[in-house]
């Protein structure tokens, strides 16, 4: 029996995964917390125009001496300046270490700010650090700036960078200062350090409305790491829809939980979108536990309306999404955005299924695998749309019994000549060319790219019954906008082919990225000003 794929299901899954994993829909009006989030204290040492700031609590997410540390790149950057974290900083550091670009991206102005427990520890750290520089043959220079002592050196032969940070520039020098006894600053030149100190005493990143709005709306209790990015500094668009991104990271029993918040540009405020999922999505009861990629939610039309808005300002991405949707719809005489999306008003779940012959291997593209789409469609709108499209292509509906489940298949009847005999030279055989299959179970319609995929949805143990999946979803609060789940070992190679820069990100967070087992996303609606989401990363040793 020959089979052909039903591509709109795959296209729908790609759109959903982009939407949810990219953080395009996030927070309802956030509740008031007893202890407002103020962000890292050392953020005061970042200028107002800082493109990126990264802060971590080394006690909770150790940077050295721990094989599971995801923070190898700050160590590598410090090592380029002759500073070994474990030897020169770790004995005295307290609860914050922050890295920031202290100027435009192309200038490569670096500053590290860390907290100690007081003046004694700060001075001991400075002495240890500069003793190592003197032992390496470096010449020191001293100066005063606003009553603060600066110690500096210049490197005659800057050391090359480690492979994982090859996109940055080497340190050409090192400059340090102690501020208010417990703050230790390291920069790659005295001028950078002088500007940082001046900004900390007047106007700095923490004074900007975008930063204040970001940290005020972060709600996650786990606060072991923090990232702030000025998206306008990295955007090619003259009017990007989002000004900045903030992320808060913390450890849980389930793994690493990250909260992401996008702050809308003041000229591109968003429409209010309230989260719709306040109970378990029953459509997940028909998604096999072996599925390596799953997306679920409620009301596809609202999702597409929101995505339409969020794609504005990202011209290349917007063009790619629309082209893929248009091409996929044309193959089946269906307009996805006009006909399919408005037809799914209830809950839905879409999943990619592993190869039948190699269940632990992802295909080379999204379109080479089988797919399932489950939705709660009492009005049968989607069925009518697909039946109409099938008739245009002379595709019929054939009833079929599949393990005692009544199902139907969309199929062409294709004739072919049989092995003929002298007595019956005109014998013909009709073959069914399956283009898709569907079944109705407990008010849910299950659509599949093949009968085998439909059988998996009807007979295999569901992902919703697995304890690991249940505990992942229990990490997130309700109401939310649904979930995207990735079995990382299976999906890794496919995603790396689709997103080449993903390899660079994995390198930065080795060895944790090597132990990653699953990724689960959710989001919480949106307000005109902010969008908020969460992602749970689970590891083999969690």
Which contacts (CB < 8 Å, 24+ apart) does range 331-336 have? 331/7, 332/6, 332/7, 332/8, 332/389, 332/393, 333/389, 333/392, 333/393, 334/8, 334/385, 334/386, 334/389, 336/8, 336/11, 336/12
Write the DSSP symbol of residue 242.
Answer: E
Q: What is the mean pLDDT of residues 332-346?
A: 81
Q: How many CA atoms lie within 13 A of 231 on its CB side?
A: 20
Query: DSSP letters along 64-90, please?
Result: SS-TT-S-HHHHHHHHHTT--IIIIIT
E strands present in 313-395: 347-352, 371-375
pLDDT, tens digit, for every residue of 44-87? Answer: 999 998 999 999 988 876 655 444 455 677 888 899 999 999 89
**What are the boundaries of each domain within the chain?**
7-27+273-539, 41-263
Q: How many CA atoms lie within 13 A of 76 on its CB side?
A: 20
Compute the distance between CA of residue 159 and CA of residue 167 in angstroms, rounded to an integer. Answer: 14
pTM summary value: 0.83
Compute the distance between CA of residue 53 and CA of residue 101 in angstroms, rounded to an integer. Answer: 7
pLDDT, tens digit, for every residue of 457-503? Answer: 999 999 999 999 999 999 999 999 999 999 988 888 877 776 676 77
Looking at the DSSP bridge assignments, the partners of residue 445 are 375, 440
Residue 162 burial (10 A CB sphere; 0-12, 13-18, 19+):
middle
CA-based torsion, 74, 79, 82, 88: positive or negative:
positive
pLDDT, tens digit, for every residue of 259-300? Answer: 999 888 877 777 787 888 999 999 999 999 999 999 999 988
pLDDT for res 30? 35
Cβ-based neighbours of 181, under 8 Å, separated by 6 or more: 118, 119, 122
Looking at the DSSP bridge assignments, the partners of residue 424 are 421
pLDDT for res 67? 42
Please identify which residue in the block is written with the tokens 């295999």: 460
Query: DSSP letters along 388-444, please?
Result: HHHHHTT-EEEEEEETTEEEEEEEEEEEEE---BTTBTT-EEEEEEEEEEEEEETTE
Compute the distance between CA of residue 328 and CA of residue 341 in angstroms, rounded to an integer. Answer: 14
Q: Which of 7-21, 108-122, 306-320 has the lowest mean pLDDT?
A: 7-21
For the record, the structure tokens of 464 come out as 């919703």
Does residue 354 surpass a pLDDT of 50? yes
322 contacts 306 by C-beta, under 8 angstroms: no
Most confident of 245-254, 268-277, 320-329: 245-254
Compute the distance between CA of residue 178 and CA of residue 148 in angstroms, rounded to an integer. Answer: 7
pLDDT for res 184? 97
For the record, the structure tokens of 477 come out as 């609060």
The neighbour count for residue 104, using CB atoms within 10 Å, is 12
């Amino acid at each position: 029996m020959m089979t052909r794929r039903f591509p709109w299901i795959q296209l729908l899954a790609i759109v959903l995964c982009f939407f949810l994993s990219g953080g395009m829909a996030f927070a309802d009006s956030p509740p008031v917390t007893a202890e407002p989030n103020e962000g890292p204290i050392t953020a005061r040492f970042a200028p107002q125009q800082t493109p990126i700031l990264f802060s971590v609590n080394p006690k909770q997410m150790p940077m050295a001496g721990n094989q599971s540390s995801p923070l190898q790149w700050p160590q590598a950057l410090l090592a380029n300046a002759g500073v070994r974290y474990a030897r020169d900083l770790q004995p005295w550091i307290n609860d914050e270490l922050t890295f920031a670009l202290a100027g435009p991206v192309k200038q490569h102005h670096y500053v590290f700010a860390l907290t100690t427990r007081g003046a004694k520890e700060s001075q001991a750290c400075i002495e240890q650090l500069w003793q190592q520089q003197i032992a390496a043959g470096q010449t020191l220079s001293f100066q005063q700036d606003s009553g603060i002592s600066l110690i500096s050196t210049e490197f005659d032969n800057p050391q090359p960078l480690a492979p994982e940070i090859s996109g940055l520039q080497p340190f050409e020098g090192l400059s340090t200062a102690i501020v208010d006894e417990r703050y230790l600053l390291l920069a790659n030149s005295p001028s950078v350090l002088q500007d940082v100190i001046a900004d900390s005493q007047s106007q700095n990143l923490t004074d900007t409305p975008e930063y204040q709005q970001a940290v005020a709306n972060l709600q996650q209790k786990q606060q072991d790491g923090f990232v702030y990015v000025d998206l306008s500094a990295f955007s090619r668009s003259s009017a990007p829809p989002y000004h900045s991104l903030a992320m808060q990271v913390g450890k849980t029993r389930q793994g690493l939980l990250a909260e992401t918040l996008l702050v809308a540009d003041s000229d591109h405020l968003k429409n209010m979108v309230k989260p719709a999922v306040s109970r378990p999505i029953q459509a997940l009861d028909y998604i096999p536990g072996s599925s390596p990629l799953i997306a679920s939610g409620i009301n596809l039309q609202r999702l597409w309306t929101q995505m339409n808005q969020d794609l504005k300002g990202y011209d290349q991405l917007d063009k790619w999404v629309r082209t893929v949707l248009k091409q996929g719809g044309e193959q089946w005489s269906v307009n996805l955005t006009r006909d399919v999306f408005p037809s799914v008003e209830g809950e839905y779940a879409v999943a990619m299924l592993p190869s039948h012959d190699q269940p632990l291997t992802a295909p080379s593209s999204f379109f080479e695998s089988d797919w399932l789409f489950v939705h709660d469609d009492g009005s049968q709108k989607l069925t009518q749309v697909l039946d109409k499209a099938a008739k245009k292509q002379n595709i019929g509906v054939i009833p079929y019994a599949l393990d005692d489940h009544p199902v139907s298949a969309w199929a062409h009847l294709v004739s072919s000549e049989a092995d003929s005999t002298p007595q019956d030279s005109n014998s013909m055989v009709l073959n069914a060319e399956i283009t898709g299959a569907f079944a109705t179970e407990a008010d849910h319609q299950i659509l599949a790219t093949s009968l085998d995929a439909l059988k998996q949805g009807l007979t295999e143990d569901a992902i919703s019954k697995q304890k690991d999946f249940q505990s992942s979803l229990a990490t997130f609060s309700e109401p939310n906008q649904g979930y995207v789940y990735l079995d990382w070992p299976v999906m890794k190679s496919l995603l790396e082919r689709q997103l080449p820069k993903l390899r660079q990100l994995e390198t930065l967070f080795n060895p944790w990225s090597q132990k990653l087992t699953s990724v689960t996303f959710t989001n919480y609606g949106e307000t005109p000003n902010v969008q908020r989401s969460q992602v749970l990363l689970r590891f083999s040793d969690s």
